[in-house]
Amino acid sequence: MGETVTFASNGETCEGYLGIPDSGSGPGVVVIQEWWGLVPHIEELVDRFAAEGFVALAPDLFHGVTTGEPDEGMRLMMGLAMDTAAQDIAGAAQYLFEHDATNGDGIGVVGFCMGGSLALWSATLAPNVVAAVGFYPAVPWERMSPQWPNYRGKSAIIHCSEEDGTSAAVGIQRAREAIEGAGGSVEIFDYPGTQHAFVNDHRPEVYHAEATALAWQRTVDMLRTRLSS
């Protein structure tokens, strides 16, 4: 089980859910929420990363607000101030980077849905973020204005659902071209028969166990390799 922590974010503070592996140390991974907020599903993912040997932190980008209603989730996502989100994500990465339990070469960021786009964006924001994984990223890049050249020497994975248009979707191809053009590396995986949010086992109508297991293993393998000391 993890714990709630508070970390600095551009002169203010942000709370998050922190998980530390039983070994007491490991590479640092920031976990970015879906549009529901910092709900139990995201906390469980943090715990799962900790069980895999990572020091994992999910920042609360909605600062205490959660929802189970799609319309409210959309409203929260569209109302998210990108400059504040950037500060919170960078603050979480810095918190992990400085944490006594964190080791390895830089910080990884993994996000889901809205958080998938924010995770990929984070590598353009913070120099200590060296690996990013986006699960079915769902926010238009125009809202973020990512500085793609900052991907030079960094690694990324994008997991795509069939419902979202697979890796052929315009936003996915734009990210691929930009990351590779900057001198970064990116792997893109399609999961046939999947719906958006297929990792969310709190939503049985979209959850896909086989695709989740495969995507999870690919994610963990990349992060272990990229973040190893």
Q: 3-227, what's its fold?
A: Rossmann fold (3.40.50)
Cα(88)–Cα(49) distance, integer angstroms? 20
Average pLDDT, the chain: 96
* The pLDDT of residue 207 is above 90: yes
* The pLDDT of residue 229 is above 80: no
Decide: pTM greater than 0.95.
yes
Q: Is 65 helix (H, G, I), strand (E, B) or coil?
A: coil
Q: Are 107 and 97 in contact (CB under 8 A)?
A: yes
> Tens of pLDDT along 53-102?
999 999 999 999 999 999 999 999 999 999 999 999 999 999 999 999 99
Contacts of 37 (CB under 8 A, 6+ apart): 60, 61, 62, 65, 66, 67, 76
Q: Is 90 helix (H, G, I), strand (E, B) or coil?
A: helix
Q: Are 194 and 161 in contact (CB under 8 A)?
A: yes
User: Residue 178 has what pLDDT?
Assistant: 96
User: Residue 95 has what pLDDT?
Assistant: 97
> Tens of pLDDT along 136-193?
998 888 888 899 999 999 999 999 999 999 999 999 999 999 999 999 999 999 999 9
Residue with tokens 């959309």, as numbered in its chain: 74
